[in-house]
Amino acid sequence: MFASKRYDTARNDVVRVFVVGESVSVFRMLESVAVAVPHPLELLGFAKDEAPSGMEPSPDVVLIDVADEERVVTLLRRIREDYPSCEVLLITPHDRGDWLRRVSAMGASFCLMRPFEVQNLVKRLVQVARPAARQTEARLSQRRRLAYEKEAAKILTDLGVPAHFKGFGYLKTAVALAVEDRSFLHSITSRLYPQVADVYGVTPVHVERSMRHAIEVTWMRGNMDLIHYLFAYSIHQDKGKPTNGLFIARLADHLRLHGAASSHSHGSPY
């Protein structure tokens, strides 16, 4: 373990970070930008696969960059014992649902998947370290999502998706999530279905089946002109209806390209 140089700053928005990793590369990456970002970082030190202990001042965030899952669990447990108020950001090589739920339950505040840009890493460190910033971002995210859901609901209605079907609501939320964060489209089963299920208090399997049923009914009874316009590539006789993922991706991309958040004042997005 080694300590970093301290940055002489009187600003009260400095974020104190300790890095635990299998190599020093992420620490060096942060060190190169620590004083050049809007919220400067004070890097307290680096330890190779070892939790910090007895540090004064204590870190605001411990960044863990360790691949071995059981070792991560051990580190989380020790950090929680020594620094119960400290936040933890975990760099993870995958987004497997059971793993994310496990580390979240043990106190990981945020999981960042590789590859990532250093600017995004700094942004996440600041967000997890500053509760006020997290609350503000959460409020902004909720407002954006409501705007996206409103536009998604309009397109679903125009397509002919029955509004009383449970799948209508699940699709509306899924499209809004995908507009806000396109990475959901790369993890439909492991991230998107569970996220929608959490919103509605149901199971991911129920979400998937209800979406599929809503799409099937729409393909039989919906607005064929609009279906052809939005899904021309996927309604050939040899292909049939799109999968849930393709359906959500097409609507999300359409809303993104046509400015879902601003379409309230610019009329229909199609």
**Omega prior to 40 cis, within 30 of 0:** no
How many Å from the N-terminal Cα to the C-terminal Cα in the chain? 57
Alpha-carbon distance of 214 to 230, in angstroms, equals 17
Instruction: Write the single-letter amino acid at 24.
Output: V
pTM of structure: 0.51
Could you give the residue range(s) of every CATH 3.40.50.2300 domain in the chain? 2-129
**Helix, strand or coil, per DSSP, at residue 2:** strand
Residue pLDDT, tens place only, 9-22: 444 567 888 999 88
Could you give the residue range(s) of every CATH 1.10.10.10 domain in the chain? 139-265
Q: What tokens appear for 46 in the block?
A: 């680096």
Section 69-74 average pLDDT: 90
CATH number of 139-265: 1.10.10.10
Residue pLDDT, tens place only, 229-238: 888 765 554 4
Residue pLDDT, tens place only, 9-57: 444 567 888 999 888 888 888 888 776 655 678 888 899 878 888 777 7
Residue whose C-alpha is closest to residue 101's, from 203, 178, 191: 191
Residue pLDDT, tens place only, 95-139: 788 888 888 888 888 888 887 888 888 888 888 887 545 555 556
Residue pLDDT, tens place only, 240-250: 788 999 999 99
Q: What tokens appear for 199 in the block?
A: 């919103």
Q: Which fold has domain 2-129?
A: Rossmann fold (3.40.50)
